[in-house]
Amino acid sequence: MSTAPATGDDRVVPRLARPRDCVATGVAAGLAEHLGWPVALVRLGFALTSLVGGAGLLLYLWLWALTPWQPGEQAPKRRAPVAWILLAAAAVPLGLAAVSGGPPTGGPAWFWPALAGVGLIVAASAWAGFLDRPDADRGPRHEFAVRIVATVVLALVAVVIVFGPAASEAPRPAFAVALAAVAGIALVYAPTLVTRFRELSEERTRRIREEQRSEIAAHLHDSVLQTLALIQNRAGATSEVARIARAQERELREWLFAGDAVPDRDLGAELREVAAVLEIEYPVSVDVVVVGEQRERASGELAAASREAMLNAARHAGGEVSVYVEGRPDAVEVFVRDRGEGFSLEDVPADRLGVRQSIVGRMRRAGGEAEVGPGVGGVGTQVRLRMPAAAPGEGGTRG
C-alpha cells in the first residue's frame, strides 16, 4: 500500500491501527488516518472496488484481520448496530428469492439469494455473540434479541421452503436451503451450547474429585490420623516427635476436610496456619479456637499483630499456647495466652521494639487497641487485641 503521505508535506505518518471508538470495525477510519485521506473517500474506495469482483471487500476483510487496535485499555466501542444491519441486509436476498418464483432454465432463481440470506443471518448472530458481547452498551440482552430474530427468520425460511411450492418444483435445491437454514439455527446457538457443555463436564469432574476425596478422607481417618494421635499421646505433648505429628495431623486434616482452598482467607484460617508453622519451628503446641463471624481478612493489621503475638509466645514461652478469636458485631477480639515466664511492657527496654512497635503500635495506628499483661494467676503472658468493626485503616491493607 501507499507509504508516502498523500498530502505531500512532512507530517508524521501515524501507524496503521484501528481506533477503539469506531463505526463497525475501525478499518476505514484507521486507514484514512494512516493515509491522511478523508474517511468518506476511503469508504467510497472500498465500496467501488468491491464492485470489481469483490476486490474491495477482500481488502477490507484482510485489513480487518491483520490491523491491530490502537493501544488502549477500554473495550472497543462500535457505534453502528452491525448485527441488526446484517439482519436487515438478509431481508434483501430473501425478498429477492421470494419474488423470483418459477423454474428457469439452469436451476431455481431463488437458490443463491436464499443461501446468501441464511449466511447473513448467521453472520449477524455471530457478530452479536462474539463482537458485541464484551460491549457494555449491548451485552447479553442484545445478543439474545438478535438470536431470537435470527432463529425466527431461519425457521420461517425452512418452513416456506419445505411446505411451499419450491419443494415440489426443485426438491434438491430446496432440501439444500432448508438444511442450510436448520444448520444456521444450530450455529446461532453453538457458542452457548459449547459453553454449557463445558460447564457441565467441569461440574462432573469436580463431583468425582469430591467423592474421591471423601473416600480417601474416610480411609485416612481410620488409619493415619489414629496413628498420628497415638504418636502424640505416647511422645509427650511438647516433645519434638509429638509436635511434628501434630503439625502433620493438622495439615492432613485441613487437606482432607477443608476442600479447595479459599484464596482470601479469613483471620481464623490464617491464625490456624500460623499455629501449624510455629509448632514445627518451636517447642510449642498452639490451640486456636475461633468463634463468631469472620469478617476480618488475613491481610489486615489485626492478623499481623496476632501473628506477632503468637510468634512471641512461641519464641519466649513455648509449651502450650492458647489463641482465641471472637468475631462480634461491634468488634473482633484476639487473645493470645502462654504459660511461660511472662513479661510486661514496663520490663521491656525501650530499645527492644518488638512488642511495642509490632503489636501495640500497630493496633493503635490501625484504630484498634492492644493490651499486653501477665496471664491469669501471674503465670505467663496474655495479649489482648481488639479491633472495632469498620475501623479506619482496617480495609484489608497490607500485613
Partner 1 sequence: MAEASVRVVVVDDHSIFRSGLKADLDASIDVVGEAHDVESALAVVVETAPDVVLLDVHLPGLAVPAGSTGGAEVIRRAAPELPATRFLALSVSDKAEDVVGVIRAGARGYITKGSSGGEVSRAVHAVATGDAVFSPKLAGFVLDAFGAAVGETAVAGDELDRLSAREQEVMRLIARGYAYKEVAAELFISVKTVETHVSAVLRKLQLSSRHELTAWATARRLL
Closest-CA residue to 327 (of 273, 390, 274, 281): 390
Strands 319-327 and 284-292: parallel
CA distance 13 to 7: 11
Q: Cα separation of 218 and 212, whole Å?
A: 10
**Residue 20 engages partner 1 in binding (rule: CB under 8 A):** no
For position 221 contacting partner 1 by CB under 8 A, the verdict is: yes
- R_g of the chain, CA atoms, integer Å: 36
Q: What CA–CA distance (Å, rounded) separates 259 from 182?
A: 45
Residue 219 within binding range of partner 1, rule CB under 8 A: no
Q: Does 262 bind partner 1 (CB under 8 A)?
A: no
Task: Write down the least CB distance from residue 178 to partner 1, Å.
Answer: 55
When the beta carbons of 25 and 285 are compared against partner 1, the nearer one is 285
**Any contact of residue 280 with partner 1 (CB under 8 A)?**
no
CB of 209 to partner 1, least distance (A): 22
- Strand segments, DSSP code E, in 66-146 are 77-78
- Binding to partner 1 by residue 241, rule CB under 8 A? no
Binding partner 1 by CB under 8 A: which of 203, 281, 293, 341? Answer: 293
Supply the DSSP symbol for 356: I
For position 279 contacting partner 1 by CB under 8 A, the verdict is: no
Q: How far is the CB of 309 from partner 1 (least distance, A)?
A: 13
Nearer to partner 1, 179 or 291 (CB): 291
End-to-end CA distance of the chain: 57
Rank residues 202 and 287 by Cβ distance to partner 1 and give the closer one: 287
Q: Does 326 bind partner 1 (CB under 8 A)?
A: yes
The count of residues interacting with partner 1 (CB under 8 A) is 34
Segment near partner 1 (CB under 8 A), from 2-10, 122-130, 230-238, 354-362?
Answer: 230-238
User: For partner 1, which residue of 37, 175, 255, 324 counts as binding (CB under 8 A)?
Assistant: 324
Distance, C-alpha 78 to centroid of its chain: 24
Q: Determine if 222 is a binding residue for partner 1 (CB under 8 A).
A: yes
CA–CA gap between residue 213 and residue 249 (Å, rounded): 16
DSSP tag of 327? E
Q: Is 292 in the site for partner 1 (CB under 8 A)?
A: yes
Does the footprint of partner 1 cover residue 225 (CB under 8 A)?
yes
Residues 229, 252 contacting (CB under 8 angstroms): no
Task: Select from 236, 373, 388, 395 the one that contacts partner 1 (CB under 8 A).
Answer: 236
Contacts by residues 22-29 (CB-CB < 8 Å, ≥ 24 positions apart): 22/76, 22/77, 22/78, 22/79, 23/78, 23/79, 23/80, 24/78, 24/80, 24/82, 25/64, 25/78, 26/67, 26/69, 26/76, 27/60, 27/63, 27/64, 27/67, 28/60
Given the complex with partner 1, which of 25 and 232 has the nearer CB atom? Answer: 232
Q: How far is the CB of 304 from partner 1 (least distance, A)?
A: 21
Pick the piece of the chain touching partner 1 (CB under 8 A) from 31-39, 126-134, 205-213, 223-231.
Answer: 223-231
CB 304 within 8 A of CB 344: no
**Nearest Cα to Cα of residue 144 among 192, 182, 100:** 192
Instruction: Supply the minimum distance, in Å, between the C-beta of residue 373 and partner 1.
Output: 12
| Site of interaction with partner 1 (CB under 8 A) | 221-222, 225-226, 229-230, 232-234, 236-237, 242, 246, 249, 253, 257, 287, 289-293, 320-322, 324, 326-329, 335, 337, 376-377
